[in-house]
Each structure stands twice: as C-alpha cells, then as structure tokens.
Amino acid sequence: MKENKVERKIETDLNKNIAILKEILKDADDIIYRRLECGKNQKIKMGVVYIDGMTDKDSVSEYAIDNLIENLDLEELEKNAEKELQGAIAKTSISVLEVKPILTIEDSVLKILSGETVLFIDTCSKAIMLSSRGWPMRGVSEPSTETVLRGARDGFNETMKVNLTLIRRRIRDPKLKVKYMQIGSVSKTDIAIMYIEDKVNEDVLKAVQKRLNNINIEAVLESSYIEELIEDDNYSPFPQIENTERPDAAASALLEGRVVIAVDNTPTVLMAPAIFTAFMQSSEDYYERWLSSCMIRIIRYIALPITILLPAMYVAITSFHPNMLPTELALYVAASRANVPFPAYFEAFLMELVIELIREAAIRIIGPVGSTIGLVGGLVIGQSSVEAGLITPLAVIVVALTAIASFTIPSYNFSTSLRMIRFAFIFLAATMGLFGISIGLCILIIHLCTLKSFGIPYLSPFSSFVENKKDLKDTVIRHKIHNLVHRPQYLRSKKEKGL
Amino acid sequence: MFEKGITPYQNVSILILVSFAFQTLMMPIILSEVDGPVGWLSIIIGAIILILTIKPINKIMDDYKEDTIVGISSHLLPKYIAKSIGLYYIILFIVANSLLMKDFAEQIKLLMLFKTPISFIIITILLTASYAAKKGIQTISEIAHITVLIALIPYLAVIIFSAYYSNYTNVFPIYPVDIEGVVKSIPNTLFGFFGYAILMFSNSHVSKTEKNMLLNKKFIIISMAIYIGCYILIIIKFGMEEAVNLVWPFLSVMKFVNIPGFFFESTEIVGMSFQIIVTFSCVCILMYFTNLAIQETLETKENGYFIFIQIPILYIMAAALPGMYMLYPYVKIPAYVFSGLNLLIPILIIFKGKKKGKARN
C-alpha cells in the first residue's frame, strides 16, 4: 500500500520555507542552508539547500550561484517573465544542465536527500532543483565475483547511473528504454527498468512493472531484496532471476528480449526472466570459439548430475546395492569400510559438511589466505580423517569430485541451490537407496516443471523441445554465432530474429 | 501471450509415455498368446485399427473444441449414457493405474528394496505423484516431455545394447502364421496403446488443435515402432520358448546390457532407475486424467482435490491386487473388455456425430 501523505506547497516567503525544511530535517548537521542576495542590486533573496558530501559543490557554485549573484538583473527578468520568476531565472541565469521546478516541500526534501541542490527564491511559490549529485564512488573495475577470461573487464559499481551508462555504451539504440522508479518508504532507492522496446515480451515487462509497483518495504539495501520480492516462488531453492556484475551480460540479456533491473547502491543488476539454462551459461561461452564453448558447456552439464547425485549414489550403492559394483571394487569398498565406525550416509554427510565449512570459511577470510585455508583445510582434514579411520578414501574422492564439479557451475546462487539439494538426495539415498534417488529426481523434475520465471517455464526450452528446437542450439551446446540469429523462442519476443 | 494449454508435441510425449508403460505391462501376455514370433503382426493390426479411427474422432473433437470425450458425449448422447462413459473412463484409469503401480512396486521390491514392505513403496509413489497431478495439465505435460528426453530415450538406447550376442534367427519362422493367436492378441496389443484412451481427454487441452490429427497418427506410429522393436529384441534375446515364461521381459533384457566400458555389474538396476522415472510419470499422468474424468462426469470446476480421493482407492487396489505373475491369467479378460470399449466408445461418438451433422445439414 502506498502512503497517502498531504503535500505542502512551497510558500512565497523564503524564511518560512527554510524554517519548514529545518523542522523536517532537524538534527541533521550535514544539511547546508545558504542564504544569498542575488542580482546586481542584491534585491532578490534566495536560499540554497543541499547535503554536504552528496553534492558536487563546485559545479553548483560555478554554473549557478556565481551567475546568480553577479549577473542577475531583476528588472530585465520581470519584463520578460511576467508571473514565472523562477522559470525565467532557471532559463536565463543557471547553466547547470538539469534543472526542474519543484512545487512542494516534500518533493524538495526528497531531492535534497537524493543529493540534489534546491534553490528557493523569495516571493516565488516554486523552487528550482539543480542537478548536482556527486559523491565519492568506486571506479569501474573488474567484477570480483564473475571471473573474466575473455571479454570486457569493466564491471558495475554502486552508482546506478554509471551502471546504466555502461549498458548504454553497448546498445546505442533509441529503442533501449529506461524507466525510473523509487522503492522503499524510507530508503527511497532508485530503480531503473531497462528493456528494448521491439524485443521485450510485453507480458513479462508488465509483470515486472506490476510486481515492482506492489513492493511495500521500508528499505532496499541490495538488489537481492528486489529479487526476493518479485520472484515467482520464494520457497523454491532455485533462483528465478539472474544477476550479474558484468555490463556485457546485462546487454546480452537486453538483446535477447529480457528485462534488466538496476538498483542504486548495488553493483549487481537483475535480469528477468531467468530459466534453468541461463544459469548454466557464461558470457565467455560466446567469446570463445564455438567448438571449445560446446565442449565447456557439455562438461558443465556432466558436472550437474555429479554435483547433485554423486555422494547420494555413493551412499546408495555402498549401503543398498553393492552388487552393482564389479566384484573387485565391491570387495575393496567392503574392506576399506570394515574399519570405519560410521555408516556410509553419515560418512558422506560429515564430509559434505566439512567441505561446506571450508568453503564458507574461505569466502569470509579476505585475500589469498582464504584460498590457502581452503586448500590446506581440505588436504589436511581429508588426509587425517582417512588415517584416523573415520572415513574411507573413496568417500574423500567422492566428496572432492563433487566439490570440484560444483565449481564448474557459472552461477553462484544456482550452484548453492544444487549444494542444498545434494543433502536431500543423501537423505533419500540413505533411506531408500537408488529408489530414493529416483523418487528424489521425480520430485525435482516436478518442482522444476511447476516453476516459472515471470510466466516462462523454468525448464524451457527442454520442456517443449520440439516446438522450441531452435533454442536447443544454445543450451547444452553453443552453435556458431551466425546460426544463433533467432531470439529465444521461449521468451515469445515481439521480434523473432536478431543478433 | 503465454500459452494456457499444452503444446502438440507435449501431448505426443504424454501419449507415447503412457503407451510405453502399458506395453511393458502387456508384453508377457502378447508373448504367450501368439504361437511363434509373429506377435508384431497383431501390433501392426492394432495400430492400423486405431489409425483408422483417428481422423473421424478428431473431426468430431474439432466441432466441440475444448471438450473431452465425456463432454462431447453429453452433447451427442443421452445424459445417462454420457455419465456412464465418464464412469467407464474413471474406472479404466483407476484400474490401469493400480495395475501399473502394483507391477512397478513389485519390480522395485525385487530389485532394489528387498526388506521394504510393498505398501510403503506404493504410498511413496502415490504421494509424490499426487503432488504432480495436482499441479495441472501444463506441469504434467512438461514432466512427460522431460521424461521422454531424460529417461525414455536413454532407457531405450541402453536396452539396444542388450542386442549383443543375440540369436537373430529367433525371429523366424514367420510362416506358417498362428492366425488365431494373432487375432486373439489384438485386444491385448490395443491395451498397449493406452495413450489412445488418454488422447480422448488430452487433445482438447492442446493449444494448436489443428495439428492433433497428424500428431495422433504420429503417436500411434512411434508407439508401434517402439512396441515392435521391444518385442523383437526380447524374441532375439531369449527365443520364444524362454520368452513366454518371462514375468518382466524388459528387466530380463536389461540384465544383458553390454555397454563397452560400463563397469556396473547389475545393469538391470540402472535400467530400473530409468523405468522408475518413466512409470512414475505415467502414474502422474493417469492420476491427472482420472481427476479430469471425475470433473467432467460430475460437471464440476477444475478441482485438484479429487486427487486426494484417488489416493486411498489406488492404494487399496494396488495393495490388494495379487502379484503380477499370478495376475496375468486374469488380466486377459479385462484387457479384452477395456480394449473393446476404448474402441467402441469413440466409434459410437463418431457415428452419432455424423448423424447429427447430417441432420443439421
């Protein structure tokens, strides 16, 4: 629900306006109120309000204040302006690029808090907003969460406008649309929805806009807030919106006909809709030669079942179906397990838990020490556990192989979902063996078949692979670029051909 | 802009998948019914009979778009007959589903879970399948499509590897043909095309109905090819004398899978894992269409809660049924009845539809 506040109009008395602002923004010492007497005869009283640290003071004083104080001629202005004094001042005496009239006190407060400078003029019932946002920001650097082997090394930063610029630089098309909105009753975070007019699916766009409009939250501190609030199914372990720190990935999503959501103060933009195959792809897939990309994709799809099922298979085969193994291997497994005090499922669960602990610790420890901890921790714990007779060498191999396989999944949040599911499969294997794994797979398939991302089936194009056969050229394999001229059919874009 | 129905090929996947499950179920009967390795003849005849009815039934369905066979019969036939047709399909789907589940649960118990009570296996399958069936036709169709891709095709591909060291001369002698046996087993083979009963309901959910006729024919041809392929594979592997004694011929074939470099010793468990997914999808499909038949017969709105009525019925029926090896002698008569009615009902509707069309002209 949107709040319905009564908005107060700007008074013609400058002192009153400043007093009201001081009342609203009391106990905020970083807000600067500067009174000016402008014009050749210092006849016009004005007040400038801005936040110290969020405003580019130099540009305001150079392109507005100096001119107002020194050159403003009230008589000349009154001759031309009739009633709209502030309009005439804005037109003739301020050379700041973006200037807007402000009618209400609440609007002026919002602009001030957003880093703009607001100019109040005595006797005028309108104020002027001078665009002056300027704060210390991180430069455009290589994204730390998405490694770049080949391709542009610029990454998004925390300033939304910079992020939009990085995308605009890649798509110089008038049909690239950007719609602004603010979300968060307290944070009033700027959000930008980007799409290419003749490519986007209207239904998806409407769904995105509707869900964003329905958000009722105090603050949006990261784009993940938005992601969680607008995704189709919160209970699903699988992400339904893709995120990236790479402008080339965002531009590619726009060209496919998807919607990109940029959130201020966040270096991660969201891309919707996102389906299963999107999480298995990386930008490099399109930058490398198509045959190598094909091989890499196939490896990822081989890694996928290993990531989910290998520990569960180990548990099922050793506990329920040892007859599946060749006799020599079955005897070796039985011999190595003879001295281990734990059942196979506990062994697998324990080792998976250790791997997760090491992984989490490695992320939290800054710099190269983190990866060293991971490596040393894995080696030492694995070796010591085998020597102590707590686990079998085969279990170490299985868990290590699973961990390595999970690293091949390009999307971090998708990989995390798979890791979570792995534990469920270990439980099913421990209770029902291969039957449990098969039942688990059935449940997984059902879940994925019910899942949608903004109305698009999550398992597209596999879920209708005959109708969407053109899309199969960019799934498990990546066909030659000149064969990828069709926009994804599952997106039902307006314009079918592209690239 | 988003499609509300299912795509034509998703429909084909549903029909092929269900048919395949019943083909595995009916295979021992066809093997034992026909004297000599010519059971494929009755499969071909069965397929031809069904193909002949596809065109007229699709024409009637085109006239009553978005109506299933129960809906169409309520337009063309007296109400009590229409209700009886609805009731028939409910019984057919429930009986077929419980047979499938019983057979499936027994195989799992035999190969995978020796100590687990069969009722536990049945209830696990039922509860999981009900979750899918309640989600609606789009989910069901997607499951079927994905299952064809990740389970049915690999399963059939793996089965082919059992053809090593087979005696291909087992397919002979073709002549003299056991004509009586071939004719007698036609109803059994028709039961193996169970998708034909499903299409009476699923066709109305297809988004592009104009493709239905062609794709229904495609379904019968593909199913026939799979049916004949599996039949011949079993014959060449075991020979007629041994094949007639097999309770689960598909499982027996899987024992002989010989993939170069494949180190698992009991390959039937690997095949069984694929089959679990295939059969499980069929259980989901049948549960959904039972639900649909109940809705249509009782003329209620779309209501997923009928699934919960099915669970105890299916559980009791599947648990109460004797083992499949004991059941085979008794399956023949119901198979005759069901196959006959599966064919007669559409023919009756075609006949009535034509009569009404003429009267209208």
| A190 and A71 fall within a common domain | no
Structure pTM? Answer: 0.86
Query: What is the phi-psi region of residue A433: left when phi exceeds 0, alpha when psi lies from -120 to 50, beta otherwise?
Result: left
| A449 and A335 fall within a common domain | yes
* Cβ separation A446–B132 shorter than 8 A: yes
DSSP state of B302: P
Kind of pairing, strands A259-263 and A452-453?
unpaired
Task: Answer whether A320's CB lies under 8 Å from B112's CB.
Answer: yes
pLDDT in tens, B139-166: 999 999 999 999 999 999 888 888 878 8
| A414 and A450 fall within a common domain | yes
Which residues of chain B have a CB within 8 Å of the CB of A461? Answer: none
Mean pLDDT of B87-104: 91
Which residues of chain A have a CB within 8 Å of the CB of B131? Answer: 443, 446
| A270 and A293 fall within a common domain | no
What kind and span of H or E run contains B125?
helix B118-133
The dihedrals phi and psi of A72, each to the nearest 5 degrees, come to -70, 125
Query: Given a cut of 60, is residue B340 above it in pLDDT?
Result: yes
A494 found inside a domain:
no
pLDDT at res. A75:
66
- Sequence-distant (6+) residues with CB within 8 A of B213 are B54, B55, B58
Query: Given a cut of 90, is residue B94 above it in pLDDT?
Result: yes
Which residues of chain B have a CB within 8 Å of the CB of A450? Answer: 135, 139
* Cβ separation B145–A441 shorter than 8 A: no
* Cβ separation B1–A202 shorter than 8 A: yes
Distance between A378 CA and the closest CA of chain B, angstroms: 29
A155 found inside a domain:
no
Task: Answer whether B245's CB lies under 8 Å from B38's CB.
Answer: no
Give the domain ranges of chain B: 8-360
| A421 and A325 fall within a common domain | yes
| A173 and A122 fall within a common domain | no
| A212 and A358 fall within a common domain | no
- Last residue in a domain, options A274, A301, A331: A274
* Cβ separation A326–B146 shorter than 8 A: no
Task: Answer whether B126's CB lies under 8 Å from B94's CB.
Answer: no
| A255 and A306 fall within a common domain | no
| Closest C-alpha to B173, from B235, B111, B218 | B235
DSSP state of A491: G
Alpha-carbon distance of B303 to A19, in angstroms, equals: 63
- Last residue in a domain, options A78, A110, A130: A130
Q: Total structural domains in chain A?
A: 3
- Best of A329, A431, A449 to disrupt the B interface (most B CBs within 10 Å) is A449
Least confident of A452-461, B79-88, B107-116, B226-235: B107-116
C-alpha distance from residue A446 to each of A176, A190, A463, B130, B271 (Å): 37, 38, 11, 11, 21
* Alpha-carbon dihedral angle through residues A94, A100, A103, A107, given to the nearest 10 degrees: -120
Task: Answer whether A297's CB lies under 8 Å from A409's CB.
Answer: no
Helix (H) and strand (E) counts in chain B: 15, 0
What kind and span of H or E run contains A202?
helix A202-213
pLDDT at res. A306:
94
Residue found under tokens 């103060």: A265
| Closest C-alpha to B247, from B166, B190, B326, B336 | B326
Task: Answer whether B30's CB lies under 8 Å from A490's CB.
Answer: no
N- to C-terminal Cα separation, chain B: 37
Helix (H, G, I), strand (E, B) or coil at A127: strand
pLDDT band at B88 (very low <50, low <70, confident <90, very high): very high
* Cα nearest neighbour of A491 on chain B: B2
| A420 and A328 fall within a common domain | yes
* pLDDT average per 10 residues of sequence, chain A (499 residues): 67 88 87 82 81 83 77 66 65 75 90 89 85 81 81 88 91 90 91 92 92 93 92 93 93 92 93 92 88 93 94 92 86 87 90 87 75 76 86 90 91 91 95 91 92 90 85 86 76 62
One CATH from 3.40.50.970, 3.20.190.10, 3.50.50.60, 1.20.1740.10 for B8-360:
1.20.1740.10
Helix (H, G, I), strand (E, B) or coil at A215: coil
| A392 and A298 fall within a common domain | yes
Residue found under tokens 């409407």: A206
Alpha-carbon distance of B144 to B149, in angstroms, equals: 9
Instruction: Look up the ipTM and state it.
Output: 0.88
A175 found inside a domain:
yes
A470 found inside a domain:
no
| Largest interatomic CA distance in chain B | 68
Domain encompassing residue A43? 14-130
- Best of B146, B148, B266 to disrupt the A interface (most A CBs within 10 Å) is B146
Alpha-carbon distance of A91 to A73, in angstroms, equals: 13
Least confident of B96-110, B274-288, B296-310: B296-310
Tokens of B295: 């809705």
The dihedrals phi and psi of A46, each to the nearest 5 degrees, come to -135, 160
C-alpha distance from residue B335 to each of B26, B93, B248, B309, B319 (Å): 9, 13, 18, 25, 20
Greatest mean pLDDT among A493-497, B201-205, B206-210 lies in B201-205
- Is it true that the peptide bond before B176 is cis, omega within 30 degrees of 0? yes
Alpha-carbon distance of A167 to A251, in angstroms, equals: 6
pLDDT at res. B178:
81
Tokens of B93: 């789907």
pLDDT at res. A1:
42
Alpha-carbon distance of A176 to A161, in angstroms, equals: 15
Handedness of CA B89, B90, B93, B98 (dihedral sign): negative
pLDDT at res. A80:
60
| A243 and A208 fall within a common domain | yes
Alpha-carbon distance of A288 to A478, in angstroms, equals: 10
Task: Answer whether A219's CB lies under 8 Å from A184's CB.
Answer: yes
- Last residue in a domain, options A130, A151, A180: A130
pLDDT at res. B47:
95
Alpha-carbon distance of B349 to B60, in angstroms, equals: 8
| Closest C-alpha to A382, from A415, A346, A358, A408 | A358
Mean pLDDT of B312-337: 82
Helix (H, G, I), strand (E, B) or coil at A146: coil
Kind of pairing, strands A269-272 and A242-244?
antiparallel
